Amino acid sequence: MKDKITIKNIKTELLSKQYYTLNKLTFDYLMSNGTWVTQVRECYNRGDGAGILLYNTEKQTVILTKQFRMPTFINDNKEGFLIEICAGMLDKDNPEACIIRETEEEVGYKLKEVKKVFEAYSSPGVMTEKMHYFTGEYTDDMKVSKGGGLESEHEDIEVLEMPFTKAIEMLNHGKIQDARTIILLQYALIHKLL
């Protein structure tokens, strides 16, 4: 396997710029056997995001959200709703500021600090998005609103506070299907946050 990827002659064709940007990329790629091949890929640029697992050590609970996700509905999710961590797009903020803002908007808790645990590409075969993953401890006195998201963004988010054991049970029975949420719940298990 080669250490350096070599590409040349990159051509970009805009396919859509509705909600985010979809481009068709045509480029020459140097294979590991020394042969140049032309490849064509579609690349969806939706910006980077941040997500957080909110947990309360005293109550042994986590806060998750539930909202409708059209792409899952047209795939095979008959109801279209997913249970997820609180998350959002960076919108030119740094990841920490973003997730603190999103936590207040989506679930109604005002955090003072969060812990970044890692970052990872969401679906590198088709999307540019890199997610910044956080954990954050909440307490009842941090509650400043009911949450639910921003009306201006037509968000309709249900806030779910549940025992950590119930979240893990849901994960183990396929009731949680969002990869970001699975990753952070498993992180919490491995690092014994609760």
Helices 179-190 and 164-172, axial angle in degrees (round to 10): 120
The tokens for 149 are: 């998201």
Query: Can you tell me the distance from the alpha carbon of 23 to that of 19, in angstroms, rounded to the nearest whole number?
Result: 13
Question: Is 90 exceeded by the pLDDT of residue 107?
Answer: yes
The answer for residues whose C-beta is within 8 angstroms of residue 37's C-beta and 6 or more apart is: 28, 29, 31
Separation of CA 115 from chain center: 16
pLDDT at 86: 97
Could you tell me if 48 and 123 are in contact, meaning their C-beta atoms sit under 8 angstroms apart? Answer: no
Q: With a threshold of 0.85, does the pTM exceed it?
A: yes
Determine the average pLDDT of the residues in 17-42.
Answer: 95
* Domain residue ranges in the chain: 7-45, 49-190
Over 80: is that where the pLDDT of 90 sits?
A: yes
Residue 72 has pLDDT above 80, yes or no: yes
Q: What is the mean pLDDT of residues 60-65?
A: 98
Mean pLDDT for 148-159 is 85
In which residue are the tokens 């540019």 written?
A: 128
- Architecture, CATH, for domain 49-190: Alpha-Beta Complex (3.90)
Closest CA to 110 of 86, 82, 84, 94: 86
Can you tell me whether residue 35 is helix, strand or coil?
Answer: coil
Q: How far apart are CA 193 and CA 184, in angstroms?
A: 11
Phi, psi of 73 (to 5 degrees): -65, -45
What pLDDT, in 10s, does the model give residues 166-187?
999 999 999 999 999 999 999 9
pLDDT band at residue 2, thresholds of 50, 70 and 90? Answer: low
pLDDT tens digits along 39-62: 999 999 999 999 999 999 999 999
Is 1's pLDDT higher than 60? Answer: no
